[in-house]
Structure 1
Amino acid sequence: MLNRVVLIGRLTQDPELRYTNSGTAVASFTLAVDRPRTNQAGERETDFINIVVWQKQAETVAQYLHKGRLAAVDGRLQIRSYENREGQKVRVAEVVAESVRFLDRGESSPRDGQMSAPPRPASASAPRRPETSKPAFEDDPFADDGNMMDISDDDLPF
């Protein structure tokens, strides 16, 4: 069985960082993701998808991601339910992120005394990372191995 979601979009507001009773960090935010096609009126529709991030990555996301930043999320879809104050059962769909990548440079000035995350090199001539700093997830679809892809127009589906 497979449950995997990969999204690229912009944050609709700053992430909300909380801690569980046991001290585990959890951040949540909403990602605005444009649909690939336009509707009948010729407008592009947007989905607003709830994202949940846990542990150290939650603290990093809360520190460096802010409203409007472009981010990539790799994770799994989770459907959970709870009973609200009126006693009604509520179902919530959210993506539990395994990996969050910052895809733009962010603000040029620090926010609240914090520095923006450094940009990742985009060119193939960028220095390769040492083998000791491999990402936690070996199958990371956003990883940059420093090699250029050779793709011809015939390979593209559009």
Structure 2
Amino acid sequence: MNVVILMGRMTRDPELKYTSGGKAYANFTLAVQKTKDEAEFIDCIVWEKTAETIAEYFRKGRKILVQGRLNVSSYEQNGEKRKSTKVVVNSFEFVENSGNGNNGSGYQQNQPYNGNSGSSSNKPVHNDTYENNDDMEDDEEFPF
């Protein structure tokens, strides 16, 4: 089973782009706390409506919880074989208030969003799996 769940802070604003066929995607990097003084930097990619939503609501420094899968790809650069590992994000959760007072946006804290447009509403469905979990990392600041 290939399942990844990470919580971290955005190291930069998500970069929203579109394929030549018009499919939205966004790349971003998460700083995930490893120890009190160390973080792992994880590259992520997200597609379609979920990409557009993350690009709209998240900025550098904002905490997010993502669920997805690992994608390892190989390529050659300057005659050297290299590997790239990214998390392909399927869904996410807001884990802190944005601080901008925009509570009427339709997206609430601690609600997952998986990009499904099959319902009549684009609002995320509430899932309290990670809500009020004292074992999750605390709000220590990262240097970015």
| TM value normalised by structure 2 | 0.71
> Which structure 2 segments of 5+ residues have no match?
112-119, 136-144
Task: State the match for 1:96 in structure 2.
Answer: 88
Cα offset for 1:82? 2.1
Q: Distance in 1 between matches of 2:11 and 2:74?
A: 24
Task: State the match for 2:138 in structure 1.
Answer: none
Matched residue type, 1:143: N
How many equivalent pairs are there?
123
Cα distance per residue 1:96-146 (max 9 Å; x no partner): 001011211114178xxxx97743379xxxxxxxxx87967xxxxx8128x
Cα distance per residue 1:23-44 (max 9 Å; x no partner): 1101010000001xx4xxxx53
C-alpha contact (below 8 Å) 1:105/1:118 kept by paired residues:
no
Cα distance per residue 1:31-79 (max 9 Å; x no partner): 00001xx4xxxx5310000011001100111111100001000000110
C-alpha contact (below 8 Å) 2:94/2:110 kept by paired residues:
no
Instruction: From the CA coordinates, give the structure whose radius of gyration is larger.
Output: 1
Task: State the match for 1:143 in structure 2.
Answer: 127
Task: State the match for 1:119 in structure 2.
Answer: 108
| Percent of residue pairs identical | 43
> Which structure 1 segments of 5+ residues have no match?
123-131, 137-141, 150-155
**Counterpart of 1:59 in 2: which secondary structure?**
helix
Which ranges of 4 or more aligned residues in structure 1 deviate by more than 4 Å? Answer: 115-118, 132-136
2:63 corresponds to 1:70? yes
| TM value normalised by structure 1 | 0.65
